[in-house]
C-alpha cells in the first residue's frame, strides 16, 4: 500500500504566514476580531486553489477578488476604519484582480475596491468634518491603487503572451516532428519499394520464360490427349490454367516494378470515384453495402493520370467491399485540403469492417504483405506507388464512423 503524500507548505506560504504574523503583533494586540480576520486572510490566500476547486475559472476569479475585498474591509473596520494604517491590505484584491483579469477588468475591480475603501468614510462623516487635507490624503491612497494594478496587469499580460507564444511554438515543433516522422517513413517506404521493384522485375523476367515453355507444352499435351480418358485431359487443363494464373501474377510484378509513364490532364475527382464505385458494384452486385457520398462542391481539378487514379480508387473501394462481406457502410469523401503548404484534394474511403490492426498499420503498403487468404500483397503497394508518382501521399487514418470500427484510407493529390 502506497502511503499518500502529505501536503507541504511552499516557501511563499511561509512568507505569507510570517507577514501576517508580523501584522498580528502590531497594536491593537487584544483585538480578537483583527486577529481572526488576519487568520482568515492568511488561510484563504494559502488555500485559495483548494477552496475554489471545482468552480469554473471565470467565476472562481470573481469570488477570489470579492472575498479578499470583504476580508480587507473587515480588517479595517476593526482597526480604525478610514484612519486605519492597515489600508494597504486593499492592495491584495487589487493585485489579485490584475493577475486574473484583462486591463478593463483590472480597472473595474480596482475602482470597486476603492469604493469599498471610501465606504469606510461614511461613519466618520456623522461625527467629523472632512477637511481638504484629509480629502487629499484619501485621494492619494486611492490613486496609488491604480498604477500598481496597471503595472501588475501589464506584467501578467506580457507573461501570458510569452507563455502562449511558447505553447504555440511547442505545438508547431510537435507538428513539425510529426510531419518529419511521416516524411521519413514515406522515404523509407519509397526505398523499400524501389529495391523490391528491381527484384520483382528481375524475378518476373526470369519466370516468364519457363512459364511460356510450360504453357506451350501443356497446350500441346492437351491436343495430343484429346482422345484420352477425361481425368488425364482435366489434369492437363489444370496445368494450363495454373500457368495462366502465374502469368497474371508475373504481370502484376512487372506493373509494380515498371516505371510509370503518367499522362496528366486536369481531372475532376468525383467522376473518378463514381467510376470506381460502379466497378465495385458490378463485381459485388449482391453486396448489402450502403454508400455515403460526401463530395465538397466546387472542387478544383487535379492534374493526374485519370486511368491510374481510377485504378487507385477501384483498389481501395474493392478492399472496402471485401472487408464487409456481410454488409456495412462505405463512406467516400472528397474535399479541398492543404498538406505541407500545397493545395490539393483529400479523398477518404472508409468502411465499417473489422479494421486494420495497429501492429500491421505500417506494413500494409509493403510489397508482398497481405492478411488475405488469397492474393500476393501487391494491390496497396501499386496504389502507393501511383500516388507517390503523383507527388501525393496515402495513409491509414482513424475512421470517423459512429461504430468505432472499420478502416479509413486517406489519399492526398496535389492540385499543381
14-44 pLDDT per residue, tens: 777 777 778 778 777 777 888 888 888 888 8
Residue 252: predicted pLDDT: 65
How many CA atoms lie less than 13 Å away from 105 in the CB half-sphere? 17
Closest to 283 (Cα-Cα) out of 310, 258, 315, 259: 315
pLDDT over 80 at 216, yes or no: no
Write out the DSSP string of 166-230. HHHHHHHHHHHHHHHHHHHHHHHHHHHHHHHHHHHHHHHHHHHHHHHHHHHHHHHHHHHTTTS-H
Domain architecture of the chain: domains with CATH = 11-130 (no CATH), 182-257 (1.10.287), 265-414 (3.30.565.10)
pLDDT over 70 at 229, yes or no: no
pLDDT over 50 at 5, yes or no: no
CA distance 264 to 268: 12
Which three-class secondary structure state does DSSP give residue 101?
Answer: coil
The distance of Cα 197 from the centroid of its chain, to the nearest Å, equals 35
336-379 pLDDT, tens digit per residue, is: 998 878 899 999 999 988 888 777 766 777 766 666 656 666 77
Residue 175: predicted pLDDT: 85
Q: Are 359 and 321 in contact, with CB atoms under 8 Å apart?
A: no
Q: Are 392 and 340 in contact, with CB atoms under 8 Å apart?
A: no
pLDDT over 60 at 47, yes or no: yes
Q: Helix count (H) and strand count (E) of the chain?
A: 11, 7
- Say if residue 28 is preceded by a cis peptide, omega within 30 of 0: yes
pLDDT over 60 at 174, yes or no: yes
Residue 295: predicted pLDDT: 94
pLDDT over 50 at 2, yes or no: no
**Range among 71-80, 126-135, 351-360 rated most confident:** 71-80
**Range among 117-121, 242-246, 269-273 rated most confident:** 269-273
Percent of the chain with pLDDT over 90: 23
Reduce the secondary structure of 318-365 to three states and give it as a string. Answer: HHHHHHCCCCEEEEEEEEEEEECCEEEEEEEEECCCCCCCHHHCCCCC
pLDDT over 80 at 142, yes or no: yes
pLDDT mean over 85-108: 89
The structure's pTM equals 0.49
pLDDT over 70 at 284, yes or no: yes
Residue 258: predicted pLDDT: 61
| Average pLDDT of the chain to the nearest whole number | 81
Q: Are 252 and 200 in contact, with CB atoms under 8 Å apart?
A: no
The DSSP bridge partners found for residue 265 are: 304
Closest to 396 (Cα-Cα) out of 281, 310, 319: 319
Amino acid at each position: 500500500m502506497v502511503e499518500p503524500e502529505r501536503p507541504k507548505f511552499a516557501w511563499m506560504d511561509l512568507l505569507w504566514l510570517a507577514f501576517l504574523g508580523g501584522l498580528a503583533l502590531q497594536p491593537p494586540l487584544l483585538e480578537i476580531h483583527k486577529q481572526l480576520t488576519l487568520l482568515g486572510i492568511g488561510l484563504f490566500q494559502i488555500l485559495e486553489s483548494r477552496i475554489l476547486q471545482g468552480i469554473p475559472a471565470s467565476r472562481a476569479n470573481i469570488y477570489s477578488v470579492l472575498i479578499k475585498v470583504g476580508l480587507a474591509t473587515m480588517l479595517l473596520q476593526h482597526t480604525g476604519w478610514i484612519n486605519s494604517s492597515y489600508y494597504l491590505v486593499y492592495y491584495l484584491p487589487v493585485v489579485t484582480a490584475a493577475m486574473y483579469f484583462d486591463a478593463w477588468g483590472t480597472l473595474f475591480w480596482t475602482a470597486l475596491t476603492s469604493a469599498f475603501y471610501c465606504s469606510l468614510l461614511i461613519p466618520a462623516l456623522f461625527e467629523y468634518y472632512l477637511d481638504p487635507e484629509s480629502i487629499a490624503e484619501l485621494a492619494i491612497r486611492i490613486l496609488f491603487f491604480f498604477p500598481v494594478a496597471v503595472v501588475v496587469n501589464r506584467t501578467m499580460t506580457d507573461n501570458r503572451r510569452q507563455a502562449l507564444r511558447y505553447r504555440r511554438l511547442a505545438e508547431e515543433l510537435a507538428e513539425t516532428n510529426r510531419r518529419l516522422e511521416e516524411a521519413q517513413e514515406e522515404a523509407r517506404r519509397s526505398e523499400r519499394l524501389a529495391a523490391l521493384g528491381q527484384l520483382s522485375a528481375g524475378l518476373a523476367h526470369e519466370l516468364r520464360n519457363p512459364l511460356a515453355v510450360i504453357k506451350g507444352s501443356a497446350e500441346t499435351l492437351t491436343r495430343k490427349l484429346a482422345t484420352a480418358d477425361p481425368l488425364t485431359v482435366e489434369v492437363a487443363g489444370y496445368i494450363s490454367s495454373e500457368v495462366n494464373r502465374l502469368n497474371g501474377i508475373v504481370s502484376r510484378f512487372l506493373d509494380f516494378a515498371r516505371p510509370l509513364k503518367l499522362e496528366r490532364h486536369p481531372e475532376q475527382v468525383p467522376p473518378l470515384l463514381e467510376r470506381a464505385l460502379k466497378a465495385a458494384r458490378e463485381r459485388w452486385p449482391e453486396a448489402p453495402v450502403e454508400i455515403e457520398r460526401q463530395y465538397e462542391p466546387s472542387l478544383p481539378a487535379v492534374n493526374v493520370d485519370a486511368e491510374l487514379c481510377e485504378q487507385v480508387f477501384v483498389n481501395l473501394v474493392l478492399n472496402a467491399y471485401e472487408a464487409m462481406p456481410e454488409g456495412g457502410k462505405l463512406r467516400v469523401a472528397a474535399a479541398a485540403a492543404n498538406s505541407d503548404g500545397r493545395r490539393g484534394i483529400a479523398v477518404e474511403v472508409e468502411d465499417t469492417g473489422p479494421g486494420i490492426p495497429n501492429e500491421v498499420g505500417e506494413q500494409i503498403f509493403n510489397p508482398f504483405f497481405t492478411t488475405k487468404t488469397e492474393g500476393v500483397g501487391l494491390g496497396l503497394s501499386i496504389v502507393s506507388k501511383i500516388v507517390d508518382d503523383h507527388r501525393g501521399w496515402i495513409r491509414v487514418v482513424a475512421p470517423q464512423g459512429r461504430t468505432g470500427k472499420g478502416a479509413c484510407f486517406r489519399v492526398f493529390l496535389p492540385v499543381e
